[in-house]
Amino acid sequence: MDTRVKPAYDAGIGDQPRVEFRMSDLLIRPAAAADLPAITAIYADAVRTGTATFELTPPDLAEMTRRFETLAGGGFPYLVALLGDRVAGYAYAGPYRPRPAYRFTVENSVYLDPLAHRRGLGTALLHELIAQCEARGFRQMIAVIGDSTNAGSVAVHRKSGFDLIGVHRNVGFKFGRWLDTVMMQRALGAGGETVPEVGAGPSNA
């Protein structure tokens, strides 16, 4: 029996009609190893068909497992959104930059099954990710949004409290065209209003 959690609308991502659902059907929880095949499939579709990520070749399950273990083991939240027993999307936070002075700042990522777009799932995942990061003691969240024409992602972040802080012009090249990245930022918890105690740092919640 295959006990792995599957993508939201079965293995053929993008080839079936959208399925209506109530937000009460949605469960957001920490990701587990059993979710990784579905996560890998969702991300592979984003790499092959979209500009939210600037990767050109979809990583395999082993690489996605390595990335998951690095983030989860480092105290960063990694979440999945479930509709029934199916993964409809996932979100995680990771280091904004590797140098230690950046340790209170995270960068977010949110990916959805393409058939789950425009249903409020991305907003729900982002709000839970923000809450999880605040609980861990992070103070700032950065969104690096691929492609300045990605109005949906910009709108989701804006209504979730993010401010536009800049645009990097023509820094990516994919699908035969130059791409911008849009930078957005939101304070977490006290943000920059207070100074952490000496020796303090983010921790697992």
Residues 53-88 have pLDDT tens digits of 999 999 999 999 999 999 999 999 999 999 988 999
Closest by Cα among 122, 108, 113, 131 to 151: 122
Per-residue model confidence (pLDDT) at position 10 = 41
List pLDDT tens digits, range 35-51: 999 999 999 999 999 99
Model confidence over 180-196: pLDDT tens digits? 999 999 999 999 999 98
d(CA 201, CA 204): 10
pLDDT of 203 over the 90 cut: no
Confidence (pLDDT) at 15: 46
Domain holding 120, by residue range, is 6-187
Structure tokens at 169: 């012009």
Answer yes or no: is 56 within a domain: yes
Assigned domain for 197 exists = no
Q: How many domains does the chain have?
A: 1
The CATH number given to whatever domain includes residue 135 is: 3.40.630.30
Indicate whether 204 belongs to any domain.
no
- For residues 125-139, one letter each, b for 16 or more C-beta atoms within 10 angstroms of the residue's C-beta and e for the rest, the string is bbebbbebbbebbbb
Rounded mean pLDDT, 129-140: 98
Is the residue at 202 inside a domain?
no
Task: Answer yes or no: is 178 within a domain.
Answer: yes
pLDDT bin (cut points 50, 70, 90) of residue 24 is confident
205, part of any domain: no
Are the beta carbons of 76 and 93 closer than 8 angstroms? yes
Q: Tell whether 1 is covered by a domain.
A: no
Look at residue 77 and tell me if it is in a domain: yes
